[in-house]
Structure 1
Amino acid sequence: MAPIRQVQVTFDCASPSRVAYFWCEVLGYVVPPPPEGFATWDAYDLSLPPEKRDAGFACQDPSGVGPRLYFQRVPEGKIVKNRLHLDVRVGTGLVGEERLAALEAECARLIPLGAVRGELLLADEENESCLVMQDVEGNEFCLD
């Protein structure tokens, strides 16, 4: 059996391109080049039948280290808490007030992009502090 070398994380959403561009900004990811024969993704999208437009969109780590993120349009809206979420590691190695300051600074950067601040979970005996947030479609993620 061949070892698995890459992972793609797939999000169900209403507007794949909107959510993908949000995550590009959060993670410093980029949108891959459009298909051959198209100068832009918008041009490609306009070539599709209306029901196929903005049905899927991807972004990727420009260094190739992080997982590719794929966003697929689904008919149903988000109803319950995610069973899986991303932790955006902005406070790695930091503790106490220094960690809280890093979390708050990243939160302040993401809110103008459409993120929503959630609960601040303070450090305890087992875990360091983290900040729960939501992306532009309400998917939970943590600033960790």
Structure 2
Amino acid sequence: VAETAGMAGLPPGDPQMVAMIVNHLKTQGLFDQFRRDCLADVDTKPAYLHLRQRVDNFVSNHLSNHTWSPQLNKNQLRNSIRQLVLQSGMLEQGVDRIVAQVVDPKIHHIFRPQVERVVRQFLSPGSHMEEEEVASLSETDQESSANWNQ
């Protein structure tokens, strides 16, 4: 609570305030939850499957140019392939597409409301309503809105 009392004088967007809020979100386990939610979806998305296939093909083609022998330095070959994959740029493009398919759809409807709730609780501890109260108010607002539009 003393932490938030010292923030009262900080303007919105202040790096110190942002760092404290991000740290609070981490201690609440929110980032870990988001990571788990996204990773659970990744291997079902076309962008991931496409990237995996591209990398597999790239590695197979590269390995087809090498003949196995007991003297082959496998660590050196592995590091060489890793560098070639990184230099090819296929990972950046593929990861961008994966993020677009996995993270983007969740940002506004799942992640943002949870982050906003935790930030509100952090900025005004003790003055926030319980989640059940907020949910019931939200339902009431929706019903009122529906009645108003009729």
What TM-score do the two structures reach when normalised by structure 1? Answer: 0.23
- How does the TM-score come out when normalised to structure 2? 0.23
User: Larger radius of gyration, structure 1 or 2?
Assistant: 2
**Which is richer in helix?**
2
- Select the structure with the greater relative contact order (CA < 8 A; seq sep ≥ 6): 2
Structure having the larger proportion of residues in strand = 1
